[in-house]
Chain A
């Protein structure tokens, strides 16, 4: 069954078009991540799905029902916000229970579901506290709990990890992944962080300027990007794009090579000078300026003794490189 399908969804604020003709389906139990640079419309799209904004055109279908004219509370969704958005005057327990009370669920059901969520999220020590007495990570768990108890058809996450520090972010990321496995619920997750996108998603939707650029599994997008934008957006360090390439590429196009596919080789096809070295311990990033004055990043696994200012010769396997035409679309090599 389809958990969500969007058909020709458009949204404009006044004369500004924020979403342009979005078509998308989310299958039951799928974890879909919307990713894109800031201002690409991913949060707006989530808010249209949630019913917090009305679509200017097109239909939103959740679990087989068109919900364009149905208020957020009756769409069978639950949402987790970046700023947690807990009710400051209610205890952890009441924060979670409020939505169910509004649905007029019997008390026994409310207690059972809240109890289950509290246990699942390890919050039992905090049920009577106010949100202001909790740490950021705990608050976000309460926010997730508030979503779980509603047993929605579709979970919506709006950059839930952006306010957490790096260590907590990784832990919570793993918790969300586990949550998805335990509940096997459909989830939509908005982020600008490609690591979150790559690690969590069954399916990634890359958005730019209110358009869907590409949809696919993380590895599909990584290994087979449809255009230069997707190729450059996913992967860290980002893909290198060369205008003056040692291979035949379309006029005004670019040759894309991922940093890890470049290797120092005597007599390699790209020659340049090392301008900066980043030693991360596990791997080493070399920033290279080619003899054609183009900037490149080279990722070398393990530790490497290259010094700034050294001359370097690089090579790559032709099948690991991508060619893009002047409109930034992916093309296959002529040869």
Chain B
């Protein structure tokens, strides 16, 4: 940044605001993580205190790892999240390419129709979805969740990706056509690498709600062998007694994979958000 245009006060103010926001956003996570390492008594006596030699305990983690099929839940969550992201990105990018690249009757209407899903929450259709899943025999399968999440993620994916695909140079695609590349190769080899930052953005926006979702796993796949992590953690929350150690430990563990996925996407993500602003 140009130092002549830099006002020290506004720099500090901006940093102050960002630090404040970071603290507020991280506070609940912080409380969950520290309390997961404490004894039950310590959690209730001083919820904000750091674990010390007296209050330190791994009882929650032990419970989580012993009770229930925690690794299975983990695996289920992972399969559902990665599977949904894969289909969202694949079909979203394909639809976006068609909308951005080809002139056909109803292109505009089709784009609007696909974008409509952004404004209508998919949960409104839960009952109908459940009926459909029952009829197709998909209840209590991971496919049920993957399909629903794919449907839920597609509108935003198409919307964002088609905007980015319009920015890919026409000349480049035409050069590919003249060199004899098929439309599929133009899409996969020329266009997709150039919209990778946008793909990462879409992936992150979709990943977290899918990972954290409780609603659809509870309704569509509550069976033991297909439980996701969020749903699996609920076993520790009882009507009368809640095993807080176990709940907090389970939640702390659940953060890890999302963080790993986020790190993978984040370098691309930042480029995606700033591209256009910084040429």
Contacts and interface: CB of A to CB of B under 8 A. Distances in A.
Interface in A46-95: 47, 50-52, 71-74, 77-79, 81-89
Interface centre among A50, A51, A102, A146 (most CB of B within 10 A): A102
Contacts of B177: 51-52, 71-73
B178 interface: yes
Given A87-B190, A88-B193, A102 B179 contact: yes
Contacts of B193: 88-89
A84 B177 CA distance: 14
A81 B180 contact: no
B11 interface: no
Contacts, number: 59
Contacts of A102: 179-181
Contact of B171 (A73, A81, A146): A81
Determine the main DSSP class of B at the interface with A.
helix
B178 A72 contact: yes
Interface centre among A50, A51, A72, A103 (most CB of B within 10 A): A72
Interface in B160-197: 169, 171-172, 174-181, 189-190, 193-194
B191 to A, nearest CB: 11
A137 B171 CA distance: 17
B189 A73 contact: no
B178 A73 contact: yes
Given A89-B189, A89-B193, A73 B172 contact: no
A84 B174 CA distance: 11
A85 B179 contact: no
Contact of A77 (B169, B178, B190, B194): B178
Contacts of B178: 50, 52, 72-73, 77-79, 99
Interface residues of A, number: 26
A312 to B, nearest CB: 49
Nearest to A158: B171
Nearest to B172: A85
Contacts of A77: 178
Contact of B169 (A52, A73, A85): A85
Nearest to B174: A52
Please classify how large the interface on chain B is, using the bins under 10, 10 to 19, 20 to 34, 35 or more: 10 to 19
A98 interface: yes
Contacts of A79: 174-175, 178
Contacts of A51: 177
Contact of A98 (B169, B174, B179): B179
A83 B180 CA distance: 19
A33 B171 CA distance: 20
A79 B176 CA distance: 11
Interface in B241-266: none
A4 to B, nearest CB: 16
Contacts of B180: 71-74, 99, 102-103
Given A99-B180, A102-B181, A85 B194 contact: no
A157 to B, nearest CB: 12
A86 B171 CA distance: 9
A78 B171 CA distance: 13
Interface string A176-194: 0000000000000000000
Contacts of A83: 169, 171-172
A218 to B, nearest CB: 28
Interface string B136-177: 000000000000000000000000000000000101101111
Interface centre among B176, B179, B193 (most CB of A within 10 A): B179
Contacts of A146: 175, 179
A104 to B, nearest CB: 10
B144 to A, nearest CB: 38
Given A73-B179, A158-B171, 15 more contacts: A52-B177, A52-B178, A71-B177, A72-B177, A73-B177, A74-B180, A77-B178, A78-B178, A79-B174, A79-B178, A81-B175, A83-B172, A87-B176, A87-B190, A89-B189
Interface of B: 169, 171-172, 174-181, 189-190, 193-194
Interface of A: 47, 50-52, 71-74, 77-79, 81-89, 98-99, 102-103, 146, 158
17 contacts: A47-B174, A50-B178, A51-B177, A52-B178, A71-B180, A72-B174, A73-B180, A77-B178, A81-B174, A87-B175, A87-B176, A88-B194, A98-B181, A99-B178, A99-B179, A102-B179, A158-B171
* Nearest 9 A/B pairs, CB to CB: A73-B180, A102-B180, A85-B171, A99-B179, A81-B171, A85-B175, A85-B172, A72-B178, A83-B171
